[in-house]
Amino acid sequence: MAIVSQNKVHIIVIVLITLGVGAGLFLPSLIDIEPAPLVLSEKIKGVIIESPPGVLPDFNLTSQNGTPFTKKELDGKWSLVFFGYTNCPDVCPTTMGTLDRVSRQQDVPTDTQYLFVSVDPKRDTAEKLKEFIGFFKNDKFTALRGERAEIDKLTEKIGVTFDYEEAGADGNYIVNHYAAIFVIDPKARVRAYILPPHDVARVTEVYRAVRSYYSG
């Protein structure tokens, strides 16, 4: 039978304790524990809770003012995001109008950022985005554009589909696109999809519920 000296036993115990303490200190930072999926009221329809949340990829876009907008701009902030295009005849202006009214509700946190991401980079210049967003007179709104490769990288990751119809004689065309409002958490992760049709009360209730539940 092997005999272990008392000094060696002490050394082994100290090493095990050190490893245990180290694991206790570092594991919480390495493991992000995901809570059970949020369950909304049965009265609320057309909402998809993403659990575990979808992590957005790195991307490089530009705002209507020409300033760079990357994934870092989402850090530490809750965001409501909509993908569309400025020539959209109905859904896009209607949805942004809904978000405008949501942003003015007293029970919606004022630190929320509202993002409109163009899926029509060919026509949606910074000037057109500025004109489109300017219509709402809402300084919480930011419109974003980018190269097609950057748009594809972002939309493919979170399931936003879009396609272009054939252009008419005047060169204009319709863009068919996914029309959900995305709730993005402060770690740039998709927490929920709010499907159309959108109304102020439902969007507000869902956003507040998602933010409250996943901020804990």
CATH classification at residue 42: 3.40.30.10
Beta bridge partners of 69: 61
What was the pLDDT predicted at 216? 65
Q: Is 62 within a domain? A: yes
Q: Is 15 within a domain? A: no
Does position 149 have pLDDT exceeding 60, yes or no? yes
C-alpha dihedral (66, 70, 74, 79), degrees to nearest 10: 50
Note the residue count of the chain: 216
Q: Which two tokens stand for residue 37?
A: 């999926």
Q: Domain count of the chain?
A: 1
Q: Is 155 within a domain? A: yes
The proportion of the chain whose per-residue pLDDT surpasses 70, expressed as a percent, equals: 85
Does position 2 have pLDDT exceeding 80, yes or no? no
Closest of 51, 41, 32 to residue 193, by C-alpha: 51
3-class SS letters over 198-211: CCHHHHHHHHHHHH
- pLDDT tier at 12, thresholds 50, 70, 90: very low
Q: Is 136 within a domain? A: yes
List the domain range (segments joined by +) for residue 179.
37-215
Q: Is 163 within a domain? A: yes
Region 143-169: mean pLDDT is: 95
Does position 54 have pLDDT exceeding 70, yes or no? yes
What are the C-alpha distances in Å from 126 to residues 15, 119, 136?
A: 60, 13, 16
Q: Is 12 within a domain? A: no
Q: Is 75 within a domain? A: yes
- pLDDT tier at 33, thresholds 50, 70, 90: confident
Q: Is 130 within a domain? A: yes
For 133, counting Cβ atoms within 10 Å of its Cβ (0-12 exposed, 13-18 middle, 19+ buried), the class is: buried
